[in-house]
């Protein structure tokens, strides 16, 4: 069985014991919203452990167009790929005020000596990362815009609960997504996403909740449009 995105995200978080241990090797820093912590292509040798707040991992083209690869919160860590001395492979930006424990490579090496079990956690995280990125590449190459939008909506929504009458409750997208947010995730223009979302709304498949403004998937999305 393929793990759900919710389970995968939870698995990537550091266990509390390791979080406390590695924090002793770094310093705590706070960042305002929309601060770029890591620039793609730059040299870097620091690991960022998110203590509070939220960040996005993304890649940007020469004309400023972005594709969002992931969003991460407390307990997650970023920057591990540059610990080998190679340039940063992606950019990281805060989505809201965020506090991180920043661990330099020297501190990270010392931590690994003290806690070799972290290597196993890191290996499993990297395996899951490769699987996620492989799915994203397949989606970009093999699915049309509708298929990619549907995949993102399903990945970011909680599995439906079953009501007392046996009916399936709607799925609610956990994050407040604008059409531009969705476009950045699926590698398309906002105009194309607008067309897809308009058709889904007309068909009664996806509508915003009047109170929370979160998108709600009212019924099973069509396999294709």
pLDDT category of residue 4 using cuts at 50, 70 and 90: very low
Contact 175, 182 (CB under 8 A): no
pLDDT at 9 over 70: no
pLDDT category of residue 165 using cuts at 50, 70 and 90: low
The topology (CATH level 3) of 143-217 is Arc Repressor Mutant, subunit A (1.10.10)
- 5-140 belongs to CATH 1.10.1530.10: no
- Domain ranges (residues) in the chain: 5-140, 143-217
Residues paired with residue 172 on neighbouring β-strands, in sequence order: 216
Per-residue pLDDT tens over the stretch 126-161: 898 888 888 878 877 778 999 999 999 998 888 766
Q: 5-140 and 143-217: same fold?
A: no
Contact 53, 97 (CB under 8 A): yes
Q: Who's near 42: CB < 8 A, 6+ residues apart?
A: 87, 88
* For range 51-68, the mean pLDDT: 86
pLDDT category of residue 162 using cuts at 50, 70 and 90: low
Per-residue pLDDT tens over the stretch 85-136: 788 989 999 999 999 999 998 888 889 888 989 888 888 888 988 888 888 7
* For range 177-202, the mean pLDDT: 92
Which of 8-12, 61-65, 82-86, 206-210 has the least mean pLDDT? Answer: 8-12
pLDDT category of residue 50 using cuts at 50, 70 and 90: very high
Closest to 182 (Cα-Cα) out of 24, 54, 68, 89: 68
Closest to 156 (Cα-Cα) out of 10, 1, 5, 21: 5
Q: Determine the pLDDT at residue 223.
A: 85
Percent of the chain with pLDDT over 90: 41
pLDDT category of residue 212 using cuts at 50, 70 and 90: confident
Closest to 184 (Cα-Cα) out of 61, 34, 67: 67
pLDDT at 217 over 70: yes
């Amino acid at each position: 069985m393929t793990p759900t995105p919710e389970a995968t995200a939870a698995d990537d978080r550091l266990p509390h014991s390791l979080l406390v241990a590695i924090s002793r090797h770094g310093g705590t820093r706070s960042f305002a919203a929309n601060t770029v912590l890591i620039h793609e292509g730059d040299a870097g040798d620091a690991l960022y452990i998110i203590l509070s707040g939220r960040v996005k991992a993304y890649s940007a083209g020469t004309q400023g167009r972005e594709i969002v690869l992931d969003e991460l919160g407390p307990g997650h860590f970023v920057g591990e790929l540059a610990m080998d001395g190679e340039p940063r492979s992606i950019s990281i930006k805060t989505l809201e005020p965020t506090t991180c424990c920043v661990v330099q490579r020297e501190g990270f090496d010392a931590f690994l000596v003290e806690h070799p079990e972290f290597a196993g956690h890191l290996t499993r995280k990297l395996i899951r990362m490769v699987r996620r990125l492989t799915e994203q590449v397949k989606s970009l190459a093999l699915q049309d815009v509708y298929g990619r939008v549907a995949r993102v909506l399903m990945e970011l929504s909680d599995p439906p609960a079953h009501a007392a009458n046996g009916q399936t409750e709607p799925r609610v997208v956990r994050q407040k997504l604008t059409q531009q947010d969705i476009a950045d995730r699926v590698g398309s223009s906002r105009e194309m996403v607008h067309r897809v979302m308009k058709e889904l709304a007309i068909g009664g498949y996806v509508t915003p909740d009047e109170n929370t403004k979160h998108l709600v998937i009212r019924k099973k999305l069509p396999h294709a449009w």
